[in-house]
């Protein structure tokens, strides 16, 4: 008898400590349209201090459920996002759509899978490049009390062609870009009834993008696809601007980058000189300019150099 009381006391103490020790993301949903809320992350790289809260994650409320677009950087993040959304509607999350393979966008998946048996949709590259137990970027950078509980789980369905999803009176048009843009496989999601576009990292604003896995030509092609839908609101993968101007900064960045790197190639600038030759100073006040802009110029040079040779 005594032993079991001690055991129960220990379990209660354990859960209490667990709850108390978990990283507090302080997530507050922001309404962006009827039935749509997003959690907007900081314009920073993932650090111990922000615990990966530097990405956007959105909830769409249907008649009977929530659909989540990008589940965020950790199990704890997803748990806390749902705890906040549950105050708006006590609905289960039936579906999670992942926009691309970067792990700040989908490591919350196992929370939704374990809690609701949610169906996980996304590009095949997520499953091809990440396996259970991999120490991905978030596992390395996030504090222990934020990454705790996070597990890599497989997606249930790969989006390889234009797909529609009907859920509680809401139609989701899910489109893969079809060529390398921000990553080898990016998808975007459009809600025709609400004229809302979820662009993933094909669009960022207020900060410089990281094009390390991407393509300048592919990004510009993806932007054409995004503009072919009549959206009024666009949610970027990172950034706070969601109105008609949401894409402008990104489009301008990639078109100027392409133009200026092509000019450098025309003038026979060598790879080791290109980052000082190409000037992107219009963007120098954007977040992460120092960290990412030079690498983007060099990557653009290596990509466009090959295109020129063809």
Question: Applying CB under 5 A, does 194 fall inside the site for Zn ion?
Answer: no
**Minimum CB separation from Zn ion for residue 104, in Å?**
7
Question: Applying CB under 5 A, does 238 fall inside the site for Zn ion?
Answer: no
Which of 201, 249, 299, 303 contacts Zn ion by CB under 5 A? Answer: 201
Q: Is residue 88 within 8 Å of residue 56, measured between CB atoms?
A: no
Which of residues 185 and 201 has its CB atom nearest to Zn ion in the complex? 201
Which of residues 201 and 249 has its CB atom nearest to Zn ion in the complex? 201
**Interactions with Zn ion, residue window 160-189 (CB under 5 A):** none
Which of residues 35 and 205 has its CB atom nearest to Zn ion in the complex? 205
Question: Applying CB under 5 A, does 102 fall inside the site for Zn ion?
Answer: yes
**Taking contact as CB under 5 A, which single stretch among the options 94-102, 122-130, 243-251, 286-294 is the one that binds Zn ion?**
94-102
**Minimum CB separation from Zn ion for residue 208, in Å?**
13
Which of residues 102 and 194 has its CB atom nearest to Zn ion in the complex? 102
Which of residues 102 and 258 has its CB atom nearest to Zn ion in the complex? 102
**Taking contact as CB under 5 A, which single stretch among the options 31-39, 98-106, 226-234, 276-284 is the one that binds Zn ion?**
98-106
**Minimum CB separation from Zn ion for residue 2, in Å?**
54
**Minimum CB separation from Zn ion for residue 199, in Å?**
11
- The residues binding Zn ion (CB under 5 A) are 102, 201
């Amino acid at each position: 008898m005594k032993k079991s009381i001690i055991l129960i006391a220990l379990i209660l103490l354990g859960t209490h400590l667990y709850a108390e020790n978990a990283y507090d993301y302080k997530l507050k949903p922001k309404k962006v349209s009827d039935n749509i809320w997003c959690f907007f992350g900081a314009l920073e790289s993932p650090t111990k201090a922000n615990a990966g809260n530097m990405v956007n994650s959105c909830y769409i409320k249907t008649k009977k459920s929530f659909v989540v677009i990008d589940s965020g950087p950790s199990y704890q993040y997803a748990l806390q996002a749902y705890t906040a959304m549950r105050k708006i509607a006590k609905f289960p999350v039936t579906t999670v759509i992942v926009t691309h393979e970067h792990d700040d966008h989908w490591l919350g998946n196992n929370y939704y899978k374990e809690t609701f048996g949610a169906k996980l949709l996304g590009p095949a590259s997520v499953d091809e490049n990440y396996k259970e137990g991999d120490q991905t970027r978030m596992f390395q950078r996030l504090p222990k009390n934020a990454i705790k509980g996070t597990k890599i789980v497989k997606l249930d369905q790969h989006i390889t062609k234009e797909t529609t999803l009907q859920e509680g009176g809401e139609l989701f048009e899910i489109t893969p870009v079809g060529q390398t843009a921000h990553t080898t496989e990016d998808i975007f999601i459009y809600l025709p009834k609400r004229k809302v576009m979820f662009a993933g990292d094909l669009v960022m604003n207020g900060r410089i993008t990281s094009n390390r896995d991407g393509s300048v030509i592919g990004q510009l092609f993806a932007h054409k696809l995004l503009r072919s839908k009549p959206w009024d609101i666009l949610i970027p993968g990172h950034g706070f601007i969601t109105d008609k101007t949401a894409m402008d900064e990104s489009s301008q960045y990639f078109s100027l980058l392409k133009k200026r790197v092509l000019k450098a190639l025309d003038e026979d600038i060598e790879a080791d000189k290109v980052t000082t030759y190409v000037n992107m100073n219009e963007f120098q006040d954007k977040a992460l300019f120092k960290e990412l802009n030079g690498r983007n110029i060099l990557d653009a040079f290596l990509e466009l150099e090959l295109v020129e040779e063809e």
